[in-house]
Structure 1
Amino acid sequence: MDFKRNIEKYVELILKVGLNIQKGDGIFVLVNEHSIGMVREVTKQAYKMGAKDVVYDFSDDEMTLARYAYGDESIFKEMPKFKIDYIEAAYKNNYHRLAIVADNPELLKNADAKKVSEWNKTRAIASKPIMKYTMENHVKWCVAAHPTPAWAKSVFPELPEEQALTKLWEKVFDATRVSMDDPVAAWKEHDAALKKHQNFLNEMAFEKLLYKGPGTDLEVYLTEGHRWVGGSGKSTRGDVFMANIPTEEVFSMPHAFKVNGTLKATKPLAARGRIINDFHFTFKDGKVIDFDAKEGKDVLQSLLDSDEGARRLGEVALVADDSPISNTGVLFKNTLFDENASCHFAIGNAYSENIKGGAEFSDEDKKKIGMNNSIIHVDFMVGGPELSVIGVKKDGTQVQILKNGNWAI
């Protein structure tokens, strides 16, 4: 593997397909100590493509742990407004968001749980004014990943650290099509394939979806006038971009008040520096009324307690079980990859692009149509080889969408 060349191709893909950088664009990059080398390549290529500026939001695992270990409890209850103002000013001045995810899935396993929970809620509430810029596509945005030693050992515990890291990079390059000769061309072809599923689902205009699988028996109504979206999206300025690299999903908007039944996760979820495993929900009239988890139940509880909308669904996404990521046979313990190996839902906020005019809706408008509103948006995986998804039209006509986990359309 020519690692240096693959990094160059990966960055080119992120900038050309993910952010679709145009002359005069600014980039706001989330970076940590693990991804700094790759972000240097991002900076170099971005300026060559005509970016006006590249700025950074830096974090460090050891610094994060020190903050939780020694920081006074008061600092976790308030986020300085200038931090939010800075990010919002960047978005208003044509800066677009690039998040390079370089995580340790269990970084906060031994951190003070009360401080972690308090800070996550504080940050989510304070970030609501800037969350809309990505959730409503006012800016172009892209999330991509950078393997770390801790993440690699979590995925491949049987291997020495260096071998585990090399193997995880190989899987990431495969999943993102970077290992192909021309990743940019491959992504354009992939985008066209996702659009075919998107267009079919939009033509069908299903009223509701029926999910059945091990531990799952769920009825999910979709909002009136919902739109399915797959692959590339458009910013409110009309610029095309790819929010996730990789992506294999076609997603839409569930009705926040019309979901009933049981739903079992099929993969662990890495959230808030912890792992949530073997968990399930019971929904009534759209709301989670019961839940359990064999591991990380307290983290799941804190997510659900974020606000009223955190107990309701904001996204429904369809992914074939034979997707390239699923076929790697790897449990990535990273939502960006695992959600694209499996059908999934998200608790929390809905995406405005999933309904016409959504970016202009007031909170009251959203409530009337069943568009969920929350300070969080957390994906969890429910797909697998035994999952069936049936679409039901208003006249009662049923169409098998997924059978044995794969597309039936």
Structure 2
Amino acid sequence: MDPRVDDHAETLVDWSARIEAGDDVVLRVAEGAHDLAVAVAEKLGARGANLVSVYGSDEISRAYLQGHDGEFDEDPEHELALYERADSVLSLGGGRNTTALADVPSDRRQSAARAHEGIREARLATDWVSTVHPTRSLAQQAGMAYEEYQDFVYDAVLRDWEALAEEMAQLKDLLDSGTEVRIVGDGTDLSMSIANRIAVNSAASVAYDSHNLPSGEVFTAPVADSVEGSVTFDVPMTVSDRRVRDVELTFEDGEVVDFTAAQGEAAIAETLETDAGARQLGELGIGMNRGIDQPTDRILFDEKMGGTVHLALGRAYASNFPEGYEDERNESAVHVDLIRWMDEGSRLEVDGEVVQEDGLFAWE
């Protein structure tokens, strides 16, 4: 087995999840992530954690959703109890078919998402961490040879996270003390309030309130009704198993009032129709991981790319809201990230001060 798999498992268990003896851990294993799951299980056993492993497959999910009548029970108790009683949930992605759910009717997927919102919130209330094991299907989705993709994944995952955390702390401090952000670039002039919010230094560890491995972003939550202007997203990606490219959103009083896309417009429309919160922004994220230097059509990596920003339609994360402001959190059954390059001619301002220009931060 590639020795980097063991290094990946060690980083996940030690740095990211901070697993301790006696922790109750749910390990969610995608069908292509067997090798990483074995390595993680060994680490969990060595630390004296209690393990329940759950096998996940998009093909199984597709079969279930295709066969269902669409009337889903709300938060089935047996599944809800598993996550309500867990200390940590470790999710290992890496399936065989990245578009296995493409032919499932969108209304059925949306109905299932709404019915399981309580389960999702219970999982997010744990010390959860998501990562991905490099598979051939993901390499194909990224347009890379398998060996090339393996190198890419491990370059992104096996980093000096302490050093990156120190660099990202500079941006966190600027956002925490700021009240307004403006994003300017080709086809983009968007402003939003970030008053009374807490930015997260997402350094791939629950100790930083960060839950992705790899990570390398700083994110906050806009004041939902404050977003004004237009923004274009020029990083292609997949939304609801459909390719989406060159999306433009226009906001008034915090809500999307107009949208276009060169490709995948129906996927954006269906996202916006999920519920009222899906038409508002739940996240502003700024990518700072220079080890991720090209899109792979995988949000776990792409939103962390140095020189990008991403905005999420839908649900905001509780970690961005200080005590007393929890009721301002945007609620939705979806959280869909869209990404744009902050390349030549772009700038990011905090309270009128240029923090990033042409993709480079002031301290760079």
| TM-score scaled by length of structure 1 | 0.81
CA shift at 1:198, angstroms? 1.3
What residue identity is the alignment partner of 1:230?
N
Output one character per residue of 1:18-59: Cα deviation in whole Å (capped at 9) or x when no partner: 11101111211221221122212211111111212x223322
What residue identity is the alignment partner of 2:362?
A
Q: Name 2:304's counterpart in structure 1.
A: 340
Within 2, Cα distance between the matches of 1:51 and 1:67?
32
Within 2, Cα distance between the matches of 1:312 and 1:212?
19
Work out whether 1:149 is the aligned partner of 2:136: yes
Within 2, Cα distance between the matches of 1:240 and 1:220?
24
Within 1, Cα distance between the matches of 2:31 and 2:8?
19
Work out whether 1:34 is the aligned partner of 2:32: yes
What secondary structure does 1:170 align onto? helix
Pick from 54, 57, 67: which aligns with 1:57?
54
Describe the shift of the 1:173–1:279 C-alpha distance in structure 2 as closer, same or farther (beyond 3 A): same
What residue identity is the alignment partner of 2:258?
D
CA shift at 1:143, angstroms? 1.1
Q: Name 1:99's counterpart in structure 2.
A: 91
Work out whether 1:402 is the aligned partner of 2:356: yes
What secondary structure does 1:122 align onto? helix
Pick from 111, 130, 138: which aligns with 1:122?
111
CA shift at 1:13, angstroms? 0.4
What secondary structure does 2:290 align onto? coil
Q: Is contact 1:100–1:144 with CA below 8 Å preserved after alignment? A: yes
RMSD of aligned residue pairs (Cα, Å): 2.3
Within 2, Cα distance between the matches of 1:97 and 1:79?
23
What residue identity is the alignment partner of 2:191?
E
Pick from 279, 283, 292: which aligns with 1:325?
292
CA shift at 1:299, angstroms? 1.5
Work out whether 1:231 is the aligned partner of 2:198: no
Q: Is contact 1:21–1:49 with CA below 8 Å preserved after alignment? A: yes
Q: Name 2:334's counterpart in structure 1.
A: 376
Work out whether 1:139 is the aligned partner of 2:97: no
Q: Is contact 1:325–1:340 with CA below 8 Å preserved after alignment? A: yes
Within 2, Cα distance between the matches of 1:23 and 1:390?
45
Q: Is contact 2:59–2:100 with CA below 8 Å preserved after alignment? A: no
Q: How many residues align?
A: 359
Output one character per residue of 1:275-302: Cα deviation in whole Å (capped at 9) or x when no partner: 2122111111110111112222211111
CA shift at 1:77, angstroms? 3.1
Describe the shift of the 1:26–1:79 C-alpha distance in structure 2 as closer, same or farther (beyond 3 A): same
CA shift at 1:108, angstroms? 3.3
Within 1, Cα distance between the matches of 2:65 and 2:113?
17
CA shift at 1:15, angstroms? 0.8
Within 1, Cα distance between the matches of 2:130 and 2:309?
19
Q: Is contact 1:259–1:284 with CA below 8 Å preserved after alignment? A: yes
Within 2, Cα distance between the matches of 1:133 and 1:227?
21
Unaligned runs of 5+ in 2: none
Q: Which is further off, 266-275 or 256-265? A: 266-275
What residue identity is the alignment partner of 1:188?
E
Within 2, Cα distance between the matches of 1:284 and 1:209?
16
CA shift at 1:306, angstroms? 0.8
Describe the shift of the 1:356–1:62 C-alpha distance in structure 2 as closer, same or farther (beyond 3 A): closer
Q: Is contact 1:141–1:241 with CA below 8 Å preserved after alignment? A: no
What residue identity is the alignment partner of 2:162?
K
Output one character per residue of 1:343-392: Cα deviation in whole Å (capped at 9) or x when no partner: 1111111112112126x83xxx32xxxx3111111111123313211111
Within 2, Cα distance between the matches of 1:62 and 1:141?
24
Describe the shift of the 1:88–1:195 C-alpha distance in structure 2 as closer, same or farther (beyond 3 A): farther
What residue identity is the alignment partner of 2:202?
G
| TM-score scaled by length of structure 2 | 0.91
CA shift at 1:80, angstroms? 6.4
Describe the shift of the 1:133–1:233 C-alpha distance in structure 2 as closer, same or farther (beyond 3 A): farther
Within 2, Cα distance between the matches of 1:65 and 1:89?
24
Q: Is contact 2:201–2:209 with CA below 8 Å preserved after alignment? A: no
Q: Is contact 1:197–1:250 with CA below 8 Å preserved after alignment? A: yes
Once the two structures are superposed, the pairs formed by residues 8-407 of structure 1 within 5 Å of their partners are 8-52=6-50, 54-67=51-64, 71-72=67-68, 74=69, 76-79=70-73, 81-82=75-76, 85-103=77-95, 104-109=97-102, 111-112=103-104, 114=105, 117-133=106-122, 135=124, 138-156=125-143, 164-177=145-158, 183=159, 186-202=160-176, 205-222=177-194, 224-232=195-203, 242-320=210-288, 323-326=290-293, 330-341=294-305, 342-357=308-323, 361=326, 365-366=327-328, 371-386=329-344, 387-392=346-351, 398-407=352-361
CA shift at 1:4, angstroms? 2.2
Within 1, Cα distance between the matches of 2:16 and 2:205?
11
Describe the shift of the 1:247–1:405 C-alpha distance in structure 2 as closer, same or farther (beyond 3 A): same
What secondary structure does 2:2 align onto? helix
Q: Is contact 1:264–1:281 with CA below 8 Å preserved after alignment? A: yes
Q: Is contact 2:285–2:310 with CA below 8 Å preserved after alignment? A: yes
